[in-house]
């Protein structure tokens, strides 16, 4: 029951959700002693106060705390009311990064691997109703070659563990999303899904609901004004919507779907959600939403903000959407992991298209994958003994992501990887299985894709045929022939594009990354690398090439905003490829994108 709590928490006459966010206790456990010493029963020693949700790293002032790698603990006390004895009781964490064990009153109630999807714990038997309850959470933020994302751990001479990601963003960790105490009826709606068919100006909503216990399902659909549009009965069926309002790109219309579980005429449970009627299709080399071709314009993003790290924050999300709307974007990729669910809710409301990405990043043995990409260096990643475990985790997280996000109209595609080594037979076999699994899981059969770096070249890549549309991350004019050599870079870019063209794949191509590090403080005329003028030029030059190839059907600049990354000689307190600064103010290039994205030739 509620295996992944695919259903976002809601409160109504049958269900209750209570936020447990607030000030918890926190303690590092560098010797990994906590489990053996039963801190979950005895309390966590040397605890300091810690906000939940938060990413601990940027809250501390000592290097060894910010860069901490290893085990750490959270603890809190919560009260469970006793007026809902007939309900099952759950704890739901939006995520715990990267792995967790949750204890309620000293009892292990859940273990979870993967830092970007919900952790749901059934505490019905462990909770004490009408009393205070002790909650303890063991967390570990280490990375290895079978975790998603991938990385390794180096033990420094001092004995301190240093997590070494194989990817280019800071390894923020902890309880970074909200925590809820849920009370759900014993006989409950546990999942639902919808698919759509457009019939002229009308539409069919095909639904399927899953429930526990006896009873039958009643479904009602309400319009924006709250009027009942149509209703139906049975666990699966079809709702005919006359003169349907479609969920359109940047012009969203959301209906409310209400599912009720009825037993002998009595409602036992209810779940409501906001859905949008829209179809997604890849056809004739284009991406079609509701039968209209759409060109993707926007960004690869990160969940990242000063002090907050990767903590979800509604105000940051709101500002991001306002900035994206201001410069005419219609799409973003959740690079490089599934984001907090609230991002998708906002995208549903705003009519944004989302490429939802699983945390399969760093599948190339390199501490600076951005620099290694394109070098031709081969790391035998998919030939390592860690691959079976990695694949198991990958499949599970693809499943959890699709289960969680399948009903969001904003989600138009799932991305199953970012920049793995795609050139070996091992990779081909690995990804064939991952894609096959994903194809079976999505009721809407949305397009599947993955973002490929430069080594995944037309003559070398063994995986591109798995992708319904091809996503390329390319840095011609930055990592490849930057600065005074940019013209040569453009020739190389055009050459690669011609090679793809010759393959006559008849699928859309989307640039999921292209960008140049740019310091908000630097100006120079004429531009040089790292100045705002160079970022403008870089964008304009890249667009000239993209525009020559009609099969290019989208451009997501890297990155929406500057973001924190690991320290290193190629990063100046973070990755500066943002079109906006980290505090969300536009760099010059934002105006280049605005002019382009607002012009009609890309619609
Ligand atoms: C690509 C990665 C991305 C990096 C980017 C960069 O997909 O995570 O941040 O390059 O170098 O390799 O900026």
Residue nearest to atom 10 of ligand 1 (CA): 370
Q: How many CA atoms lie within 13 A of 462 on its CB side?
A: 14
pLDDT given at position 342: 98
Ligand 1 geometric centre to CA of 340 (Å): 21
Residue nearest to atom 1 of ligand 1 (CA): 370
Ligand 1 geometric centre to CA of 357 (Å): 14
Q: Would residue 513 show up in a list of annotated catalytic residues for this protein?
A: yes
SS3 301: coil
Pocket test for ligand 1, best of 169, 300, 369 (most atoms within 8 A of CB): 369
State both tokens at 326. Answer: 């201001």
DSSP string, 308-328: TBT---HHHHHHHHHHHHHTT
pTM of the predicted model, to two decimals? Answer: 0.97
Active-site hit among 341, 513, 536, 555: 513
Q: Are 355 and 449 in contact (CB under 8 A)?
A: yes
SS3 406: coil
pLDDT given at position 56: 98
pLDDT given at position 1: 41
State both tokens at 359. Answer: 């945390």
pLDDT given at position 276: 98
Ligand 1 geometric centre to CA of 577 (Å): 9
DSSP string, 124-163: TTT--TTEEEEEEEEEE----TTSSS-EEEEE-TTS-EEE
Query: By C-alpha distance, which of 15, 35, 22 is closest to 77?
Result: 22
Cβ within 8 Å of residue 90, ≥6 positions away: 2, 5, 120, 121, 122, 123, 124, 181, 182, 183, 184
Pocket test for ligand 1, best of 151, 165, 168 (most atoms within 8 A of CB): 168
pLDDT given at position 103: 98
Report how far residue 401's alpha carbon sits from residue 221's, in angstroms, rounded to the nearest whole number.
Answer: 25
Q: Are 476 and 491 in contact (CB under 8 A)?
A: no
What stretches in the chain show pLDDT beneath 70?
1-6, 367, 373-374, 603
Handedness of CA 382, 383, 386, 391 (dihedral sign): positive
Query: By C-alpha distance, which of 298, 350, 335, 352 is closest to 554?
Result: 298
In this structure, what are the phi and psi dihedrals at residue 59, rounded to the nearest 5 degrees? -90, -25
Longest Cα–Cα distance in the chain: 77
Which domains are present in the chain?
16-185 (2.60.120.260), 189-275 (2.60.40.10), 280-597 (3.20.20.80)
Atom of ligand 1 minimally distant from the CA of 563: 9
Report how far residue 269's alpha carbon sits from residue 260's, in angstroms, rounded to the nearest whole number.
Answer: 6
pLDDT given at position 2: 45
pLDDT given at position 371: 72
Q: Are 50 and 24 in contact (CB under 8 A)?
A: yes
Residues with CB under 6 Å of ligand 1 are 167-168, 336, 369-370, 373, 418-419, 453, 473, 513, 558, 575, 577
Active-site hit among 419, 421, 453, 555: 419
Q: Are 510 and 285 in contact (CB under 8 A)?
A: no
Q: Are 149 and 165 in contact (CB under 8 A)?
A: yes
Atom of ligand 1 minimally distant from the CA of 479: 11
């Amino acid at each position: 029951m509620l295996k992944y709590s695919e259903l976002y928490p809601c409160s109504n006459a049958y269900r209750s959700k209570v936020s447990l966010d607030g000030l918890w206790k926190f303690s590092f456990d560098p010797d990994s002693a906590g489990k053996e010493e039963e801190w979950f029963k005895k309390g966590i020693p040397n605890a300091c106060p810690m906000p939940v949700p938060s990413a601990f790293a940027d809250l501390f002032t000592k290097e060894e705390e910010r860069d901490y790698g290893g085990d750490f603990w959270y603890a809190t006390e919560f009260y469970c009311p006793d007026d809902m004895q007939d309900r099952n009781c759950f704890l739901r964490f939006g995520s715990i990064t990267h792995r967790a064990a949750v204890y309620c009153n000293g009892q292990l109630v859940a273990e979870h691997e993967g830092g970007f999807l919900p952790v749901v714990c059934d505490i019905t038997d462990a909770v004490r109703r009408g009393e205070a309850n002790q909650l303890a959470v063991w967390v570990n933020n280490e990375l290895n070659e079978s975790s998603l994302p991938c990385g390794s751990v180096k033990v420094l001479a001092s004995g301190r563990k240093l997590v070494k990601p194989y990817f280019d963003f800071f390894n923020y960790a902890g309880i970074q999303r909200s925590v809820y105490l849920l009370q759900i009826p014993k006989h409950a709606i546990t999942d639902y899904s919808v698919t759509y068919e457009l019939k002229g100006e009308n539409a069919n909503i095909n639904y399927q609901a899953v429930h526990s216990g006896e009873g039958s399902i009643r479904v009602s659909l309400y319009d924006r004004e709250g009027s009942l549009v149509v209703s139906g009965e049975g666990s699966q069926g079809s709702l005919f919507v006359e003169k349907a309002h479609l969920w359109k790109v940047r012009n969203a219309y959301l209906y409310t779907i209400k599912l009720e579980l009825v037993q002998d005429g009595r409602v036992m449970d209810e779940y409501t959600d906001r859905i949008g009627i829209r179809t997604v299709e890849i056809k004739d080399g284009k991406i079609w939403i509701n039968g209209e071709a759409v060109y993707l314009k926007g960004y690869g993003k990160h969940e990242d903000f000063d002090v907050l790290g990767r903590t979800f924050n509604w105000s940051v999300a709101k500002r991001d959407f306002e900035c994206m709307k201001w410069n005419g974007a219609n799409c973003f990729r959740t690079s490089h992991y599934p984001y907090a669910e609230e991002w998708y809710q906002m995208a549903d409301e705003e009519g944004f298209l989302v490429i939802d990405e699983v945390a399969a990043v760093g599948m190339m043995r390199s501490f600076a994958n951005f620099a290694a990409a394109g070098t031709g260096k081969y790391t035998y990643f998919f030939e390592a003994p860690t691959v079976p475990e990695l694949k198991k985790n990958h499949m599970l997280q693809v499943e959890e992501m699709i289960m969680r996000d399948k009903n969001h109209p904003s989600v138009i595609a799932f991305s199953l990887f970012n920049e793995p080594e795609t050139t070996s037979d091992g990779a081909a076999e690995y990804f064939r299985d991952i894609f096959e699994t994903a194809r079976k899981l999505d009721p809407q059969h949305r397009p599947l894709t993955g973002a490929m770096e430069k080594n995944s070249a037309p003559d070398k890549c063994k995986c591109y045929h798995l992708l319904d549309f091809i996503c390329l991350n390319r840095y011609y004019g930055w990592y490849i022939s930057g600065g005074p050599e940019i013209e040569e870079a453009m020739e190389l870019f055009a050459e690669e594009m011609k090679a793809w063209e010759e393959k006559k794949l008849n699928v859309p191509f989307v640039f999921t990354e292209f960008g140049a590090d740019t310091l908000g403080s630097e100006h120079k005329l004429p531009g040089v690398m790292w100045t705002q003028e160079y970022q403008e030029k870089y964008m304009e030059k890249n667009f000239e090439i993209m525009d020559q190839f009609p099969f290019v059907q989208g451009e997501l600049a890297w990155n929406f905003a500057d973001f924190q990354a690991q320290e290193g000689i190629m990063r100046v307190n973070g990755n500066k490829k943002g079109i906006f600064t980290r505090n969300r103010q536009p760099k010059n290039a934002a105006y280049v994108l605005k002019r382009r994205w607002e012009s009609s030739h890309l619609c």
